[in-house]
Amino acid sequence: MDGKTLVPLIMIYAGYHELISHWLRTHCVVEPFVIATNRQLSTMHPIYKLLHPHLRYTLQINALGREILISSYGVIESTFFTKKYSMELSSVAYDKLWQFDLQGLPNDLLHRGMAVEDPSAQHGLKLAIEVYLPNILLV
């Protein structure tokens, strides 16, 4: 590969990582859980105490990200190859690529091709990476 084909490819991967993997699948997806945790759980609840250190500043970080990074004429729009279509692209990706029911085990493993259904296995799955994670389905 020469530089003329490599640079656009790198820009595509960087854009996908930042807009889809990082912003969408990390920051956006967790916001409803932050709001629900703060609205529905007592500060004395053990789950609240477990989640609070991890979720404490998430909404503030996301608000700053929206203001500085992904707003019109923000850093993302001025530097990424997707330019003014960055938010539209992440919205379409959210609609087409992200499903709540595919985020947990075992559906996540099946969806990513890391496992196949096997009725004879203990949990109904044969892991493609079983030698590395023999107890993952026990979680």
Who has greater pLDDT, 96 or 131? 96
Find the mean pLDDT for residues 6-27: 86
Among 82, 98, 114, the domain boundary falls at 98
Of residues 97 and 120, more confidently modeled: 120
Residue owning tokens 């990476």 = 129
Shared domain check, 85 and 17: yes
Task: Say if residue 85 is in the same domain as residue 112.
Answer: no
Would the pLDDT of 134 be above 70?
A: no
Domain match, 64 and 126 both:
no
Q: Which of 54-58, 60-64, 128-132, 133-137 has the lowest mean pLDDT?
A: 133-137
d(CA 84, CA 22): 18
The CA–CA distances, whole Å, from 50 to 76, 77, 125 equal 33, 36, 30
Q: With the C-alpha atoms ordered 121, 125, 131, 135, is the resulting torsion angle positive or negative?
A: negative
pLDDT at position 32 is: 93
pLDDT of residue 84: 79
Residues 14 and 25 occupy one common structural domain: yes
116 φ/ψ angles, rounded to the nearest 5 degrees:
-130, 150
Contact 86, 80 (CB under 8 A): yes
Q: Is the per-residue pLDDT at 138 higher than 80?
A: no
Q: Domain tally for the chain?
A: 2
* Same-domain status, 8 and 40: yes
Is there a single domain that holds both residue 88 and residue 111? no
Q: Are residues 94 and 121 in the same domain?
A: no
Show the domain range for 111. 100-139
Residues 15 and 81 in one domain: yes
**Residues 105 and 130 occupy one common structural domain:** yes
Task: Summarize pLDDT for 38-89 with one digit per residue, the tens.
Answer: 999 999 999 999 999 999 999 999 999 888 988 878 888 888 777 878 878 8
